[in-house]
């Protein structure tokens, strides 16, 4: 799991939430797979809803401007974000995300290496609604993103007060193996720290070269 804070600014978050107040929410089970349909109880925007498409483009633009997301996910393809709402006991029982998703309106598909949840409601606006992964309960501030392995078992706890709004999407990474992505992120973090402390160090060039040569060896396009 990786927590990426402040993907959306306060103003961007305000605009997104204001738009969602007029959203046409539908039963989330319509988009559930065969195994998930029995444990899914939430609301979603239809994928062909103009508002959903507008907000998806907005979130995609912010992802492209986030160095932390780019470094951690190394995205090759990102499925356009979707939007959901949990309220009045809404929940999503334990499940594992599908391995492959079709890209709406295209003949293309993506492999889901990473799943992401962008929280759009503040934690004090609702009770329950925690995203539970590997026995860790996550409830982030609005505008913060959680990135995690699509192969992990996870669930959303019932919301007993208020409403939990979020965007969610999947990423096909340039680097398929999670262990390799983690090593590259650790190396990139070290390079960035060294650049801050010793910007003239000749080791920066060597380490940067190692990073790119590993990426060249491990990437799949």
CATH code of residue 185: 4.10.860.20
209 lies in the same domain as 184: yes
153 lies in the same domain as 44: yes
29 lies in the same domain as 94: yes
27 lies in the same domain as 131: yes
**36: confidence class by pLDDT, cuts 50, 70, 90:** low
Tokens 């996870």 map to which residue? 154
157 lies in the same domain as 51: yes
For 190, other C-beta atoms within 10 Å of its C-beta total 12
141 lies in the same domain as 185: no
The tokens describing 43, both together, are 């609301």
For the chain, the domain total comes to 2
Q: How remote is the C-alpha of 117 from its chain's centroid?
A: 4
190 lies in the same domain as 124: no
Which tens digits make up the pLDDT trace of 111-168? 999 999 999 999 999 999 999 998 899 999 999 999 999 999 999 999 999 999 999 9
Q: Which residues touch 146 (CB under 8 Å, ≥6 apart)?
A: 1, 2, 3, 4, 116, 117, 119, 131, 138, 140
90 lies in the same domain as 138: yes
Average pLDDT over residues 16-35: 85
123, 181 in Cβ contact below 8 A? no
Q: Which domain holds residue 193?
A: 178-218
169 lies in the same domain as 183: no
91 lies in the same domain as 127: yes
Model's pTM, two decimal places? 0.93
Average pLDDT of the chain, as a whole number:
95
What HEC string does 61-94 produce?
HHHHCCHHHHHHHCEEEECCCEEEEEECCCEEEE
Q: Which residues touch 179 (CB under 8 Å, ≥6 apart)?
A: none
63 lies in the same domain as 153: yes
61 lies in the same domain as 122: yes
Rg (CA), the chain: 18
Q: What is the CATH number of the domain that holds 145?
A: 2.60.120.620
């Amino acid at each position: 799991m990786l927590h990426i804070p402040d993907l959306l600014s306060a103003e961007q978050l305000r605009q997104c939430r204001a738009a969602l107040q007029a959203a046409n929410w539908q039963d989330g089970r319509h988009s559930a797979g065969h195994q998930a349909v029995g444990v899914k109880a939430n609301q979603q925007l239809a994928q062909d809803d103009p508002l959903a498409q507008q907000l998806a483009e907005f979130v995609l633009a912010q992802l492209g401007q986030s160095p932390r997301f780019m470094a951690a996910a190394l995205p090759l393809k990102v499925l356009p974000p979707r939007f959901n709402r949990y309220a009045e006991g809404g929940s999503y029982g334990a499940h594992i995300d599908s391995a492959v998703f079709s890209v709406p309106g295209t003949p293309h598909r993506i492999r889901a290496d990473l799943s992401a949840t962008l929280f759009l409601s503040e934690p004090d606006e609702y009770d329950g609604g925690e995203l539970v992964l590997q026995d860790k309960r996550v409830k982030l501030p609005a505008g913060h993103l959680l990135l995690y392995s699509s192969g992990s078992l996870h669930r959303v706890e019932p919301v007993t007060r208020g409403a939990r709004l979020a965007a969610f999407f999947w990423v096909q990474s340039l680097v398929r193996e999670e262990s390799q992505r983690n090593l590259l992120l650790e190396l990139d973090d070290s390079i960035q720290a060294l650049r801050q402390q010793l910007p003239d160090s000749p080791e920066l060039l060597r380490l940067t070269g190692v990073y790119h040569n590993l990426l060249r060896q491990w990437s799949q396009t």
